[in-house]
């Protein structure tokens, strides 16, 4: 005589959702504070303002490209790269 085996697996009534990460956290605060501090320190050291803006703009563009790439947006990363290249070409 065959026996019926039922494996009871509890299923939650609602899907378990983790709390979304806050949009502004310690990494964003560090960046928001460090860019002006670094720019000010470079200016005090005698670096021309145009060079400071190019350096910090490049760092910001690389950071934005890394975030977009990690978040899975290839199309957005390609459009960001195109925008950076157009901006660099217009600045020359």
Name residue, tokens 């065959």. Answer: 2
- Is the Cβ–Cβ distance between 76 and 68 less than 8 Å? yes
pLDDT for position 66: 75
pLDDT for position 29: 79
In three-state secondary structure terms, 19 is coil
Q: Average of pLDDT values for 17-26?
A: 63
pLDDT for position 82: 84
Please tell me the distance from the alpha carbon of residue 21 to that of residue 38, in angstroms, as a whole number: 28
Mean pLDDT score across all residues of the chain: 76
Of 51 and 70, the structure prediction assigns the larger pLDDT to: 51
Please tell me the distance from the alpha carbon of residue 65 to that of residue 87, in angstroms, as a whole number: 15
Q: Average of pLDDT values for 68-89?
A: 76
pLDDT for position 91: 65
Angle at 65 between CA 17 and CA 32, to 5 degrees: 80
Please tell me the distance from the alpha carbon of residue 82 to that of residue 58, in angstroms, as a whole number: 14
Give residue-wise pLDDT tens across range 26-60: 777 787 788 889 889 999 999 999 998 898 888 88
pLDDT for position 31: 75
Please tell me the distance from the alpha carbon of residue 62 to that of residue 84, in angstroms, as a whole number: 10
């Amino acid at each position: 005589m065959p026996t019926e085996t039922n494996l009871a697996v509890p299923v939650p009534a609602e899907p378990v959702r983790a709390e979304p990460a806050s949009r502004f956290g310690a990494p964003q605060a560090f960046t928001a504070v460090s860019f002006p501090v670094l720019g000010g320190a470079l200016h005090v050291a005698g670096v021309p303002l145009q060079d400071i803006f190019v350096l910090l703009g490049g760092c910001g563009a690389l950071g934005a490209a890394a975030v977009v790439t990690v978040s899975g947006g290839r199309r957005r990363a390609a459009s960001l790269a195109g925008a950076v290249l157009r901006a660099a070409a217009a600045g020359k």
